[in-house]
Structure 1
Amino acid sequence: MKFAPPELLTDSGDGAVDNQSRDDWEKAIEYHEIKHRLRDERTREKARATAIEQIIRKALATMGAVSRPYREETSPWEKNPSAELDLEASLSEDPSLESLLVEHRAPKRAEVVLCIDTSLSMTGRKLALTAVALATIALQLESEDLGVVCFETDATVIKPLGRKMPLRELLRALLEVPARGLTNIEAGLKKAALECGRGRLPRKAVILMSDGRFTAGANPEHMVAKLPRLHVVQTGSPWASPRLCRNLAKKGGGKFVRVSRWEHLPKALYSLTGEIVR
């Protein structure tokens, strides 16, 4: 079963696209480098829309044929009148219309807050691949179950947990981050902790994406106790700090994932999110 939200389906109904040309993908990479030179808003919007479409195409190709995980649930007939009647469970209660129970499948859900390092080292290629990775996460979750924090010297929430946001709007917000400043992992995790406090589901996790070398703020290890399960995805960098990344993941009870090449980032985050949800 291939999964793609209705907003992303092509006329044929297939959401997975793998025939993206190199020139098409270059448009997504170039956007970050040229956006500040595009003074005309219509021209900039057109370039951004093209970049977003290429990012979504690459995300769907990365995901391929996937199926969302489900769980079996029993609920009152009034809430799901089209579901299959659970006769045994219904007869164990008062057999009135109000007591009828039905079985149905509900998607497994978990809340994820993605904490992204968008400091000065975030080039056009890195930002485009980060956007692809974000799309693969968003496509596996209910929109309100995803929160996104971007951090450099300071931290900003570009997608609050608990709020629905179309995928294209989310990608637009990421592509417009200035990608400047220092690397304040502590500030990013503080914002992530606040977002987790807004959550309603029992299952939640934070994914930190950084090279692990903080150049502003304090050592972020003290923030781990304020977070739910913390997974750390360390991106390739000559200045990377694997020791800090490993320590954060270990203290946070999560996984440490080393991504040496940025091209591998979307697949790594796609797989990690799948494990969290399942």
Structure 2
Amino acid sequence: MANELGFQDVKAMTGLSVKQGNIDALMGMAQSNVYAVTAELQKPEYTQFFAKKHKNQSDSFIPQLYFMVRSHAPPHFKVMLQRLTRSIILRTSLNISGRGSKGKSRHRVRYYPGMPEFDLDATLFNYIQNGANYLKHSDIVGYERRQRKRNVVLILDVSGSMFGKLLLNAALTTSVLSYAMAKDFTSVILFNSEAHVLKGIKTQTKIVELIDQILESEAVGFTNISRALHRGIVELKKNPGNRQKVGILITDGDFNRGKNPLFMARQFPKLHVINMPPEEVKLKQTRGQQVCRQIAAAGRGYYVPVKEFDEIPRALMQLLAKI
């Protein structure tokens, strides 16, 4: 019905949808005539509506609305929606990442006061070896957790035309990575026909800056996985040494530019793949799924398929807990 309404009618219906709190109707209006909806919602009186939705955490529609209106919205309205979207991403990613991935290895050390963990088998062995008369401090073997500096490059597919989903996923997964691996070395690469290093592995960048860069970028172009993997290898090589080096590729696998990515995948010490859903599922077993499996096998890593985009951040956390 909204498609048959004129500009002024859609504006009026938008105001009514907000007044009644009907988000489905609001988003339906935005899909039918985004210009009319933008013209209505940019009015100052609607600022309180968005602020209340964000405060009550009933704001899941805001990121989608932001991507729908950002190209033609007045600066003040775009900035408001972008700030709210950024806040939603930060809040969501912090909830997902929790305390972050462990990233700590256990080392056996001699006893010291306040030691939280003990190696019981090794302690009993020392006790018996020393005559089993009484337990000495030198018999006790403990564990000490030490931060394990890892090098991880996150490679995100932002090709195609899925309205806002790819960029929202990129911003959310980047934020999750930043929270979970705050003490490690990380790099973030976005790719379509080309590959762009959003964050270098030796660069310190604030999470809010990374999110804003993603929210202001475009999800367009073809898919060149090989070029993206090459840039990932270059980033990992910038930090030489024996630290763990891992690549995490998030893509639907349906590349249509560049060479076969398997050659570049083999160059990684370890390359994991999160297979995100394609834009159109014509067959249960798509070409992209096959490619993602092959890339993970070539990179000696895990293959993690997801059915929905909102599963990707938690899949990333599960991967980070394993490396």
How many aligned positions are there? 231
| Partner residue, 2:154 | 114
Residue in 1 aligned with 2:299?
252
Q: Which residue number in structure 2 is paired with residue 175 of structure 1? A: 215
Partner residue of 2:261 out of 220, 242, 245: 220
Match of residue 318, structure 2, among 262, 271, 275: 271
Give the aligned residue type for 2:259.
A
Question: Structure 1 unaligned runs (5+)?
Answer: 1-18, 75-82, 85-102
Which amino acid in 2 is paired with 1:21?
Q
Candidates 76, 84, 91, aligned match of 1:57: 91
Counterparts of 1:199 and 1:30, CA distance in 2:
40
Quick check: 117-126 or 150-159, which moved more?
Answer: 117-126
1:38 aligns with 2:63: no
- 8 Å contact from structure 2 (residues 277, 306) kept in 1: yes
TM-score under structure 2 normalisation?
0.65
Match of 2:82 among 42, 45, 48: 48
TM-score of the two chains, using structure 1 as the length reference: 0.74
Distance 1:67 1:218 in 2: 34
Code of the aligned partner of 1:142: A
Query: Is residue 21 of structure 1 aligned with residue 61 of structure 2?
Result: no
State the 1:64 CA deviation.
4.1
Q: Is the 8 A contact 1:144 1:162 kept in 2?
A: no
1:205 positional shift: 0.6
Q: 1:143 to 1:51 in 2, by over 3 A?
A: farther
- Secondary structure (helix, strand or coil) at the match of 2:271 reads strand
Cα displacement (A) at 1:162: 1.1
Structure-2 separation of matches of 1:66 and 1:150 = 23
Which of 170, 177, 195 is equivalent to 1:130?
170
Distance in 2 between residues matched to 1:199 and 1:170, nearest whole Å: 21
Distance 1:127 1:32 in 2: 9
| Matched residue SS, 1:232 | strand
> Which digits, 9 at most, give the CA deviation of each residue in 1:99-140, with x for residues without a partner?
xxxx97532221110111101234213422332222211111
- Give the distance between the partners of 1:190 and 1:232, measured in 2 at CA: 15
Answering whether residue 270 of structure 2 is matched by residue 229 of structure 1, we say: yes
The answer on whether the counterparts of 2:251 and 2:275 sit within 8 Å (CA) in structure 1 is yes
SS at match of 1:231: strand
Percent identity over the alignment is 26
Classify 1:229/1:67 alpha carbon distance in 2 versus 1 (closer, same or farther; 3 Å): closer
The answer to whether the Cα contact below 8 Å between 1:73 and 1:105 also exists between their aligned partners in 2 is yes
Q: Given the alignment, which residue of 225, 232, 235 partners 1:195?
A: 235
State the alpha-carbon separation in 2 of the partners of residues 156 and 20 from structure 1: 36
Deviations 1:56-90 (Å, cap 9, x if unpaired)? Answer: 1111222346574434679xxxxxxxx99xxxxxx
Structure with greater contact order relative to length (CA < 8 Å, sep ≥ 6): 1
Give how far 1:37 is off: 1.4
Aligned 8 A contact 1:115 1:207 in 2: yes
Per residue, is there more helix in 1 or in 2? 2
Gaps in structure 2 of 5+ consecutive residues = 1-54, 109-113, 116-142
How many Å separate the matches in 2 of 1:70 and 1:214? 36
- The C-alpha deviation readout for 1:200-232, integer Å capped at 9, x for no partner, is 452011111110000111211111232221101
Verify: 1:148 aligned to 2:188, yes or no: yes
SS in 1 for 2:175: helix
